[in-house]
Amino acid sequence: MHLERAVHGKPSGVDPAVCAHGGVIFFQKGTVERVTGSAWLCVLHSGIARGTKSAVLGLAERRKTDPVIDRSIRSLGELARQGRSFLELGDLRGLGQTFEAAHSYLRDGLSVSCPELERAVEALRKAGALGAKLTGAGGGGAAIGLARDQAHAREIAEKTGGFAVGIGT
């Protein structure tokens, strides 16, 4: 967390929690719960490096005057709970829909996307992802696309220049 504070300013703690626990976790206000289930993703870098600290600080500043920010954050929390349920049930279509809805909130409600991330998300969709969204703090970095299985993730990766990765148990 000391490194996270230096790099990100005011970190949530989710990154060290994932590193410490491994697998897929549900993280809320410092509480970590293991999530069962597995999935395959294609990760596609936007080509834009962006520091989490500047993105988080900018959002925190906007949050003081824009009520849409808190509503969007609450909606993203609900989508995370739904996504957890879909993953545990093995409902990849439902999980893909939560990716799409989350990306809409990240893009429109929080305004943390950028043209490069939008192109990455669209490329993942066109390549057949079940759902796609930006990942991380936004403003650059990467997008993820949900695949049906390992072969599908590799196919998406081949079409987009991304890479396939399995998550979960």
Looking at residue 155, what is its pLDDT? 98
Question: What is the assigned CATH class of domain 38-168?
Answer: alpha beta
What does the buried/exposed string (b/e) look like for 53-63 if buried means 16 or more CB atoms within 10 Å of the residue's CB? bebbeebeeee
Please give the model's pTM, rounded to 2 decimal places.
0.89
Q: How far is CA 108 from CA 33, 97, 140, in A?
A: 29, 16, 16
Domain boundaries, the chain: 1-35, 38-168
Q: Which residues pair with 167 in a beta bridge?
A: 39
Tens digit of each residue's pLDDT, the chain (169 residues): 677 667 666 667 787 888 888 889 999 887 999 999 999 999 999 998 865 555 666 777 888 888 889 999 999 999 999 999 999 999 999 999 999 999 999 999 999 999 999 999 999 999 999 999 999 878 889 999 999 999 999 999 999 999 999 999 8
Count helices and strands (H / E) in the chain: 7, 6
Name the catalytic one among 15, 66, 91, 108: 15
Looking at residue 138, what is its pLDDT? 84
- Active site includes 15? yes
Looking at residue 10, what is its pLDDT? 66
104 Cβ contact list (under 8 Å, min separation 6): none
What does the buried/exposed string (b/e) look like for 70-88 if buried means 16 or more CB atoms within 10 Å of the residue's CB? eebeeebeebeebbbebbe
Coil, strand or helix: which one is 133? strand
